[in-house]
Amino acid sequence: MNVSSSVQRQIHHSRYPRIFVALKSGKAVRAHYQGQKYRYSSTSKACRTPVSEAQLQRQASLKAQKGHYSEALALLSQLIDQSPATAKYYNNRGLVYFYSGQPQKAQADYNRAIALDPQLTEAYNNRANYSVSIGHLQEALADYDRAIDLNPFNIRAWINRGITYRNLGQYERSLDDLDFALRLGRLTGHIYAERGRTYHRMGDWNCAVADYQRALKQFSSLASLCSPADQRQHLRVKTWLNELYQAC
């Protein structure tokens, strides 16, 4: 059989997973149909295994967790190039921009994510965090409200709104949000820490000490599993507790 230098494909249809043979530069390459993707297997340099979107997401997440923000951004930009209408990719890239000290690019990506998917609760929470970082607390509250309206179980939005109320001196509202967040049963160490800080700012030192100690106990029980965020909050609670003891 003579094979030209151009690519020729023979596609066989059946009820079984589709298999086709691609002929390129005189080399046969088998490709197995998997969902919407083809996975190529060949020793030829002309044929490479394409990376799935799920793999790119995992790689980007790992890079971001390790603080390799430039590499994470490159992977997320690749995802956006592949799927420019997928809102969550803009939201995730915005988060990495924010952590890497590029807040304006973060805001642009959050806005784009919300334009593509107005129901994406995480994007409102993240955009609110950006607003807090530049001192626009009322704008932040509006976005936290929207995030909670869309998903009443968005625990991070409840915590963040509680912190924002505290920063505005609205301590009772802060306590209400943090109390509700506790009932959701996750991130309890962080919530006790923030509720303790609210009590601390209110001048209720007994309640503050009790919550700080609860937070430290929670973090200590997770010592071998602590994320960097857990570790930072653990140290922050110790600092707050020392401040309180020194003031006594």
Instruction: Tell me the domains of the chain and their CATH numbers.
Output: 1-50 (no CATH), 51-118 (1.25.40.10), 148-209+242-248 (1.25.40.10)
The label of the residue with tokens 């002309």 reads: 46
Sign of CA dihedral 197, 156, 228, 192: positive
Query: Residue 148: which residues within 8 A CB-CB, separation 6 or more?
Result: 154, 157, 158, 161
For position 223, what pLDDT does the model report?
A: 60
DSSP 150-180: H-TT-HHHHHHHHHHHHHTT-HHHHHHHHHH
* Buried/exposed code over 217-235 (b: 16+ C-beta within 10 A; e: otherwise): ebbeeeeeeeeeebeebbe
pLDDT-derived band at 227, boundaries 50, 70, 90: confident
* Overall pTM > 0.85: no
What is the distance, to the nearest Å, from the Cα of residue 89 to the centroid of all Cα atoms in its chain? 10
Summary mean pLDDT of the chain = 82
Nearest to 60 by CA among 95, 19, 101: 95
- pLDDT tens digits, residue range 95-147? 999 999 999 999 999 999 999 999 999 999 999 999 999 999 999 999 999 99
- pLDDT tens digits, residue range 61-109? 999 988 999 999 999 999 999 999 999 999 999 999 999 999 999 999 9
The label of the residue with tokens 């997440």 reads: 61
pLDDT-derived band at 186, boundaries 50, 70, 90: very high
For position 28, what pLDDT does the model report?
A: 34
